[in-house]
Amino acid sequence: MAQDKKVAIVTGGSRGIGREIALELSKDGFAVVINYAQNVDEAESLKKQIEGAGGEALAVKADIGESKDVTRLFDEAIARFGRVDALVNNAGIITPDGMTVQKTTDDWAERTVKINLLGSFYAMREAAEKIKDGGRIVNLSSSLAKMRAPGYGIYSATKSAVETLTSTLAKEMRGRNVTVNVVGPGPVATDLFLKGKTEEQIKFFSAANPMQRLGTPQDIAKVVAFLLSDGGGWINGQTVYANGGMI
């Protein structure tokens, strides 16, 4: 690869929003490191799609809830491409609908904190050391972090914590021209969101914003791509809620 080609790591990049982010960044000229936890076939398919369009990609299996895996993810990216210029912390899980604070089990609470909060933290910590000066970090939160909607307490709490870490890290990267921001999607038509929802629930969420539709993975990918671009360089330490005006 050309030595001046930028390299982006996308966690949870094999499907859904992560997949669209990887495709969008490849179109923008990034070599893309596709992180996945289980979906090897989808990750390899995306890698081939990017390469078939003339881009460069690497698929790396790593559990972002394990700090050693996150270190290896960055090291494999650098071994293959020689650098890391951008990190998109997209990987995450959401608790099932209706899991109130009272009904949240130890297992769900621990898994959600491990993946959503600690996973993002481990990747941010690694990026703080290994990302090139002038780089970009974008963390995925959720509009639920601002809504405080019933039934999503532990999930929203982890996303609020990611937003706090983001603004803190943005200040700690002073002098390196590295921006650190958050994108907080509203309801997006992905398998993760749609699973288990009734038609009535989908209609409700679709009507919850003035655009009267669910977001698409492409909607979110374009916001992320802007923040990683030269045009997004003056936005730092901020949360951008991409939800069609729902909040």
Give the predicted TM-score (pTM) of the model.
0.96
Token pair listed for 55: 């881009």
Q: How many residues does the chain have?
A: 247
Residue 1: predicted pLDDT: 53
Average pLDDT over residues 120-139: 98
Residues 50, 76, 25, 113: what is their CA dihedral angle, to the nearest 10 degrees? 120
Would you place residue 190 in the very low, low, confident or very high pLDDT band (cuts 50, 70, 90)? very high
Query: CB–CB of 132/84 below 8 Å?
Result: yes
Residues 242, 113, 21, 237: what is their CA dihedral angle, to the nearest 10 degrees? 60
Out of 33-37, 96-100, 188-192, 222-226, pick the least confident: 96-100
Superfamily of the domain at 7-239: NAD(P)-binding Rossmann-like Domain (3.40.50.720)
Residue 3: predicted pLDDT: 61
Whether residue 155 lies in the annotated active site: yes
Token pair listed for 180: 């650190």
Domain ranges within the chain, ordered by starting residue:
7-239
Q: How far apart are CA 164 and CA 28, in angstroms?
A: 29
| Mean pLDDT for all residues in the chain | 95
Residue with the larger pLDDT of the pair 164 and 2: 164
Catalytic residue among 122, 152, 155, 241: 155
Would you place residue 92 in the very low, low, confident or very high pLDDT band (cuts 50, 70, 90)? very high
Query: CB–CB of 95/138 below 8 Å?
Result: no
Residue with the larger pLDDT of the pair 2 and 241: 241
